Amino acid sequence: MAEAKRDYYEVLGVDKNADEATIKKAYRNLAKKYHPDMNPGDAEAEKKFKEASEAYAVLSDPEKKRQYDQFGHAAFENGAPGGGFDFNSMDFSDIFGDLFGDFFGGRSRRSSNGPMKGANIRTSVRIKFEEAVFGVDKEIELTLKDPCPTCHGSGAKPGTSKETCGKCGGKGQIVYTQQSLFGMIRNVQTCPDCNGSGQVVKEKCPDCHGSGYTSSRKKIQVSIPAGIDNGQSVRIRDKGEPGVNGGPRGDLLVEVIVSSHPIFQRQDRNIYSTAPISFAQAALGGDVMIDTVDGKVIYEVKPGTQTDTKVRLKGKGVPSLRNKDSRGDHYVMLVVQTPTHLNGEAKELLKKLDELTGNSLHAAEAYSDKSPDEKKKKGLFK
């Protein structure tokens, strides 16, 4: 028993009131997804591709769409009141001209010998942590192309000029046909001889060898904004590759690499660090010096501060790229430094301190000499 066909509107995922543009867009998306050239050996994808193509063949044609809306699939069966139609006679060139351009790197049917913007150039620059926080101006040096002064960018030998490309006839494109599931498809591709310009150079300029450009090392000033983060880029307009056929130059994209800092770490607009404080400062409190990107600041430690206490220095973080006056915060982890090298006098003073504060080391030693029953009475064991 033959498998029942799905509703064509359901296949394309459109409403029955969908206009021609919506139907075309829906089919194009499905065709790109399930085309056999994109899914080699996938029988299920090929099946869905054929199903979508059949639905589009009907719904994209006003008369066939009317027949389908009135009679359903029966409109195209032999002897049906709708008269049927030859599916293989459908013209898919409008769709597949674009699709094959996407699949195989070709251009669309728009003119390719008009002005086109030049390619962007990418480079990188390394800066310090503080420079990323406050911004900095850097000078970089790189090789850039400029129109050849001898031929003024034409690529032709002085006294000569470019000629019309014989392969494409000056159109910049060539038309070819390609076999598909639905017959021969007409497609358009950029002319390989003239690269879409429509013109070729017969006698090349001796200085640029027909390229129309010369290269030279140039120094470029880069203004890096305050608050930029590692991996972000600065765009410098019109410093990229020259345009084609009179088009504008591309842009220069400078990726910023921020060197690590021995003390500070950054997360978004906040800065993190640790600061050592002495045992006495932690116990008694008092002023300590803390390093920030703005320099040293004085922070008042509270008496009895424990190690790993986090403090917040408001507004001492990284500025916003949009507003340098708006800054994040600096979070500091206070780490109490335990003395490691003590002389006899210092040890006696610490023991005395323990006794005075009720944390005597001797008390613990006294417990160690007692029996388990005595320790249990003292609450050491339960």
What is the 3 state secondary structure string of 49-85?
A: HHHHHHHHHHHCCHHHHHHHHHHHHHHHCCCCCCCCC
Instruction: Spell 244-253 as b/e; 16+ CB within 10 A means b.
Output: beeeebbbbb
pLDDT attached to residue 361: 46
Which amino acid, one-letter code, is at 183? G
Placement of tokens 């005075």 in the chain: 356
pLDDT attached to residue 379: 45
Q: Is the dihedral of CA 148, 152, 153, 158 positive or negative?
A: negative
d(CA 33, CA 12): 12
Counted residue by residue, the chain has a size of: 382
Instruction: Spell 18-41 as b/e; 16+ CB within 10 A means b.
Output: beeeebbebbbebbeebbeeeeee
**Mode of pairing for the β-strands spanning 330-337 and 270-278:** parallel
CB contact at 8 A, 277 and 146: no
Q: pTM of the full predicted structure?
A: 0.58
Closest CA to 351 of 365, 337, 330: 365
- Beta-sheet strands, E only, within the chain: 121-127, 136-147, 163-164, 173-180, 183-190, 199-200, 213-224, 233-236, 252-258, 265-267, 270-278, 286-292, 295-301, 309-313, 330-337
CB contact at 8 A, 225 and 234: yes
d(CA 374, CA 377): 5
d(CA 262, CA 56): 63
Tokens of 44: 């299920």
**Residues of the chain where predicted confidence (pLDDT) is lower than 70:** 1-3, 78-114, 178-185, 358-382
pLDDT attached to residue 211: 86
Three state DSSP letters for 151-211: CCCCCECCCCCCEECCCCCCCCEEEEEEEECCEEEEEEEECCCCCCCCEECCCECCCCCCC
Tokens of 47: 């099946």
How far lies 351's CA from each of 62, 110, 310, 341, in Å?
99, 89, 29, 15
Rg (alpha carbons) of the chain, rounded to whole number: 38
